[in-house]
A and B are shown apart, each in its own frame.
Chain A
């Protein structure tokens, strides 16, 4: 089943890009509902995960943009780190600090940072997905890394 196979990849993306657990659950639901509606458009030109992943990024970015229009950076209503803690790692404290610092970044910078440094997308791909230019994308990445370094140094 598509949900069972991919939820563990889609949910972390939604969680990190939204910076909020409740919001990430809503986004994950939106993504799978949208995938169900659009499944007829999948032509098999890429792997199913690639198709789903791009759809997921689009859903998240669209949703975050309209949310931003509704209100300026609503405070997160749940701590995203609750989830990350369950994923298990040697340096758990350091990772929790990092995840928390990421969740505090401004939405635009956070999206670019995650898509580039965590998901491995190129600037060109991110620019296409976010509807910006490669230059703007690089500037956001630079800003995100600078802010993140500052946040972690505190």
Chain B
């Protein structure tokens, strides 16, 4: 193996990508060639220095404000809206905003697959609007009872419960309930509107998630 060949194989050698026999031949050359040995040693040192560089540090200024200012301007695919549907924008927008506000807060709650207390699961389908609404209204009483029970349990301040969690649960539930009221009111104007039913399904699922997370916290105490 000559110096030119060694130079071409140095990187693969240092990255352990050479087959053993070729590595052995390269090492044999290195033991006899101080110039190539020096290059390999320096490259190895360089790799070690690069690997030791810090991978985590903050920018000199907080970039979040700039990022936040750019977020509303993001491109979102919007289907063509028929004129009649334009009237839906206000209730839909309000409800969607309320729901989207929950995203970050909900992520901080521990996940739970359980259905809270005695709230029966309900399937809301845009294909069966009348049946879905009937089922949804039927669980409202269960939901309110579960909500009251959990909130009073949280309010009694059991030992070990984080007050921030109590506040988070309350804020989330209030926001979702407000969204549900807005969706229901919009559904009275536009019965069977699929987008509203979809939002109702999301809202229902979210509030059950919040209750389940709160319930899990209480049970884990």
User: Which residue numbers of A lie inside 8 Å of B, CB to CB?
Assistant: 1, 3-4, 7-9, 11-13, 15, 21, 24-25, 28-29, 32-33, 36-37, 82-84, 86-87, 89, 94-95, 98-99, 113, 117-120, 138, 141-142, 145, 148-149, 152
Q: A3-B67, A36-B71, A145-B46 are in contact. Are A99 and B53 (CB under 8 A)?
A: yes
Q: Which residues of A contact B11 (CB under 8 A)?
A: 138, 141-142, 145
- Asked if A29 and B70 make an inter-chain contact with CB atoms under 8 angstroms apart, the answer reads yes
| B152 within 8 A of partner (CB) | no
- Asked if B12 and A145 make an inter-chain contact with CB atoms under 8 angstroms apart, the answer reads no
Query: How many B residues touch A, CB cutoff 8 Å?
Result: 31
In the complex the two chains form, what is the Cα distance from A137 to B67 in whole Å?
Answer: 33
Q: Which residues of B contact A149 (CB under 8 A)?
A: 39, 42-43, 46
In the complex the two chains form, what is the Cα distance from A117 to B61 in whole Å?
Answer: 28
Contact of B74 among A9, A36, A89, A119 (CB under 8 A): A36
In the complex the two chains form, what is the Cα distance from A2 to B12 in whole Å?
Answer: 37
User: Which residue numbers of B lie inside 8 Å of A, CB to CB?
Assistant: 8, 10-12, 39, 42-43, 46-47, 49-51, 53-61, 63-64, 66-67, 70-71, 74-76, 104
Closest residue to B54 on the A side, CB-wise? A87
- Asked if A98 and B60 make an inter-chain contact with CB atoms under 8 angstroms apart, the answer reads no
Q: Which residues of B contact A12 (CB under 8 A)?
A: 54-57
Contact of A83 among B42, B49, B59, B75 (CB under 8 A): B59
Contact of B57 among A87, A113, A118, A152 (CB under 8 A): A87
Q: Which residues of B contact A99 (CB under 8 A)?
A: 53
Q: A98-B49, A118-B50 are in contact. Are A33 and B70 (CB under 8 A)?
A: yes
In the complex the two chains form, what is the Cα distance from A49 to B104 in whole Å?
Answer: 17
In the complex the two chains form, what is the Cα distance from A32 to B46 in whole Å?
Answer: 32
- Asked if B63 and A28 make an inter-chain contact with CB atoms under 8 angstroms apart, the answer reads yes
- Asked if B74 and A29 make an inter-chain contact with CB atoms under 8 angstroms apart, the answer reads no
Report the 10 A-B pairs with minimum CB-CB distance, sorted nearest first: A117-B50, A87-B57, A8-B56, A87-B54, A11-B59, A32-B67, A37-B74, A33-B70, A29-B67, A8-B58
